[in-house]
Amino acid sequence: MRQIFEYHPVIGYRFIPVIKARVPHEGGGYLIQTNNKGFRCTHDVTEKKRESVFRVILFGDSFTAGDGVSNQFRYSDLLEQRIPQLEFLNFALPGTGTDQHYLIFKEYAAHIEYNAAVIAVWVENVRRVGSRYRLYQDDQGRDVLYAKPYFEFDNGQLVLRNTPVPREPIPESELSKEDERLVDWGGRFLTLRNVADQLGFLNMARRLSRYQPMPEYKDPQNSSWRVMRAILLEWIRSCAKPVVLMPIPIYHYVECMSDPRHYQARFRELAEEAGCILHDPLPDLTAYSPEKRRGFRFKNDVHPTPQGHEALADSLRPAIEKLMIDGKTGGLKT
């Protein structure tokens, strides 16, 4: 597989700028195109925006960057195609957490012109924020561990650690027992990805009806949630323009296998405190039939299919259109 990422001292890595590449995938492979700053976006990042466009800056992980689909099938690109004069600058980066997304904003977007920001938080990111290392596969398919930047509290204040980020991978044998607990191994759902298909939807739903895949959200004082909450509060308050906070649910919630109320409550409380717009797509996603909801992810890969991105675009569209109307009528903060 062609190398598509390069080292970055602040974030850890980014896409190699200005490349076009085909990535193998169970869906038949997909095409990526990167811009001048090393993100999957057809628009270059410029300090000034075109006067005629409504520019939205977008942040997230692989669910927003579009793992599994070509650029034009992602929800951000679909919205651009459907709404005249809308421009998305997609700063999403696979394998990263909300802490790194905040660093991307500060490094690449805080100083540019934009009309609104969308922070898309895949809800599993609460685990990435609580980690200091992450497992990746290199271009040869081998598992490798890399350190990542992270935030922690020091006398009640958020402090950034581990920058510049070490360039070289870390042998797993060199990790202490404490460090092993701080590795993001890629989520605890790997063994469950195919079970729903093997047992059938109804049996799986019954088996997991009391299973809570994201217990970090149950307690508002959970350490990982407290760090992510503090990052998002600081980030949102630093934005000069309106912010849409969009928690993207894991498939357990979309397919009604688990109760989403804890994470929904945490994000609702956060949005109220931050004074931002909360867009929860889950009610829109669960309104589809079970068969259509299962089609929102691939057979093995949990990332959104083109149909999943279509559903996310349809859900987010009214919030974006309202922001654009408010901008024309002077309703946006300046």
Q: List, for residues 35-66, the tens digit of each pLDDT value.
A: 999 999 999 999 999 999 999 999 999 999 99
Residue pLDDT, tens place only, 89-147: 999 999 999 999 999 999 999 999 999 999 999 999 999 998 999 888 776 777 889 99
pLDDT at 244 > cutoff 80 = yes
Q: How confident is the model at residue 260 (pLDDT cuts 50, 70, 90)?
A: very high
pLDDT at 193 > cutoff 80 = no
Give the whole-angstrom CA distance, residue 258 versus residue 208.
Answer: 7
Give the whole-angstrom CA distance, residue 217 versus residue 237.
Answer: 22
pLDDT of residue 334: 42
pLDDT of residue 203: 46
Contact 324, 83 (CB under 8 A): yes
Give the whole-angstrom CA distance, residue 32 versus residue 134.
Answer: 23
Residue with token string 């945490």: 266
pLDDT of residue 210: 63
pLDDT of residue 2: 63
Closest CA relative to residue 153, chosen from 108, 97, 95, 99 = 99
Instruction: Note the pTM of the prediction, 2 decimals.
Output: 0.92
pLDDT of residue 288: 99
Q: Residue 264: which region, alpha, beta or left (left: phi > 0; alpha: psi -120 to 50)?
A: alpha
pLDDT of residue 187: 45
Query: In order of start, what are the domains of the chain with their CATH numbers?
Result: 5-329 (3.40.50.1110)
Residue pLDDT, tens place only, 134-189: 888 776 777 889 999 999 999 999 999 999 999 999 888 888 888 888 998 774 33
pLDDT of residue 143: 80
Contact 63, 121 (CB under 8 A): no
Q: How far is CA 6 from CA 112, 301, 319, 331, in A?
A: 23, 24, 34, 41
Q: How confident is the model at residue 191 (pLDDT cuts 50, 70, 90)?
A: very low
Contact 144, 135 (CB under 8 A): yes
Chain mean pLDDT for the chain: 91
